[in-house]
């Protein structure tokens, strides 16, 4: 069993009208089976309302399944005695950087998680230092988070999670509110964590460029897992992705269109370099 495993995970929420009467039941996540290996970089794709955030919140035991089970490192999220262990092992980074920074100074915010866990003072400082260094924000440790850019704030949030020494990090659209530069900064930091520290990463996003380096990609649609495979496999299926209202990277699309017109290019080209290389073969 991998670090994160779900078995027929289903989550329903009840929609109510203004008087509180039940209007209907929406199934946000529908019988999802996942098995994520320790150390993997996983990307979950999907357009708005496809259930990817709801799925993410289950891994951190913020939401509990209506049916099915979620295990994090072998612990069932529905068992209350494991709650705090699960939240420590599966850290979560949210979309809006302003709404998840609690401290008034960068280092205080990073220390918030370890403080809650009851880590001794001296070790908190060690953890804060190493996690700020891991995301390249150490020189900003005395700054106020309000004065940082979006990308920097998000890196602080990531540091705040790493300081809890999690085995995996779930990032719920961490780049959705950032500019292209901030987006690159954050993704670079996340990849470094995965490569250097071996932390399992679950990246939820709708930016295609960010998933190129993932080991495994899951595409969600209406609560189901619609596609799964390596990035190359996923991007070979351009038409299916379009049906799910997802964009593919421009260069992949270009190669796909050229192929349709009879140019002999392989499917699933992911980067510009690769494309150039293939073109030079002619």
A 10 A CB-CB count for 219 gives 24
Q: Which residues bind other proteins (CB under 8 A)?
A: 57, 60, 62, 84, 87-88, 91-92, 94, 96, 98-105, 107-108, 111-121, 124-125, 128, 142-144, 146, 160-161, 164
Q: Residue 112: count other Cβ atoms within 10 Å of its Cβ.
A: 17
Work out how close the CB of 114 gets to other proteins at its nearest, in angstroms, rounded to a whole number.
7
Instruction: Select 92 or 178, whichever has its Cβ closest to other proteins.
Output: 92
Give the integer Cα–Cα distance in Å for 227 and 43.
12
Tokens standing for 135? 């995301």
Whether the Cβ atoms of residue 57 and residue 51 lie closer than 8 Å to each other:
no
Token digits of residue 15: 């929609």
Which of residues 91 and 249 has its CB atom nearest to other proteins in the complex? 91
User: How far apart, in whole angstroms, are the C-alpha atoms of residue 98 and residue 183?
Assistant: 16
User: What three-state secondary structure class fits 186?
Assistant: helix
Minimum CB distance to other proteins, residue 112 (Å): 6
Cα–Cα distance between 263 and 179 in angstroms, integer? 35
Assess contact for 1 and 36: CB atoms under 8 A.
no
- Smallest separation, CB 74 to other proteins (Å): 19
Q: Residue 279 CB: number of other CB atoms within 10 A?
A: 13
Provide, rounded to whole angstroms, the least separation between the CB of residue 100 and other proteins. Answer: 4
In the complex, minimum distance from the CB of residue 160 to other proteins, in angstroms, rounded to a whole number = 7
Please, which residue, 169 or 246, has the CB nearer to other proteins? 169
Identity of the residue, 106 or 269, whose beta carbon is nearer to other proteins in the bound complex: 106
Residue with smaller CB distance to other proteins, 25 or 62: 62
- Exposure on the CB side of residue 125, measured as CA atoms within 13 A: 2
Least distance to other proteins, CB of residue 212, Å: 27
> Which of residues 170 and 251 has its CB atom nearest to other proteins in the complex?
170
């Amino acid at each position: 069993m991998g670090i994160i495993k779900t078995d027929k995970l289903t989550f329903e929420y009840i929609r109510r009208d203004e008087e509180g009467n039940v209007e209907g039941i929406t199934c946000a996540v529908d019988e999802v089976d996942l098995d994520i290996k320790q150390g993997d970089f996983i990307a979950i794709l999907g357009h708005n309302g496809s259930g990817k955030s709801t799925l993410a919140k289950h891994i951190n035991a913020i939401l509990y399944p209506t049916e099915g089970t979620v295990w994090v490192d072998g612990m069932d999220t529905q068992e209350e005695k494991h709650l705090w262990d699960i939240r420590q092992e599966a850290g979560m980074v949210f979309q809006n950087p302003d709404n998840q920074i609690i401290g008034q100074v960068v280092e205080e915010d990073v220390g918030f998680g370890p403080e809650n866990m009851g880590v001794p003072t001296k070790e908190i400082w060690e953890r804060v230092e190493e996690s700020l260094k891991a995301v390249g924000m150490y020189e900003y440790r005395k700054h106020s988070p309000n004065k940082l850019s979006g990308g920097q704030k998000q890196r602080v949030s990531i540091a705040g999670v790493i300081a809890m020494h999690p085995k995996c990090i779930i990032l719920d659209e961490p780049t959705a509110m950032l500019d292209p530069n901030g987006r690159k900064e954050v993704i670079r930091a996340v990849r470094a964590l995965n490569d250097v520290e071996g932390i399992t990463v679950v990246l939820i996003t709708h930016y295609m460029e960010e998933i190129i380096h993932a080991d495994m990609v899951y595409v969600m649609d209406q609560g189901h897992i619609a596609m799964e495979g390596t990035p190359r496999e996923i991007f070979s299926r351009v038409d299916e992705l379009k049906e799910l209202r997802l964009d593919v990277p421009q260069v992949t699309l270009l190669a796909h269109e050229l192929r349709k017109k009879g140019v002999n290019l392989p499917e699933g080209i992911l980067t510009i370099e690769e494309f150039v290389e293939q073109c030079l073969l002619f």
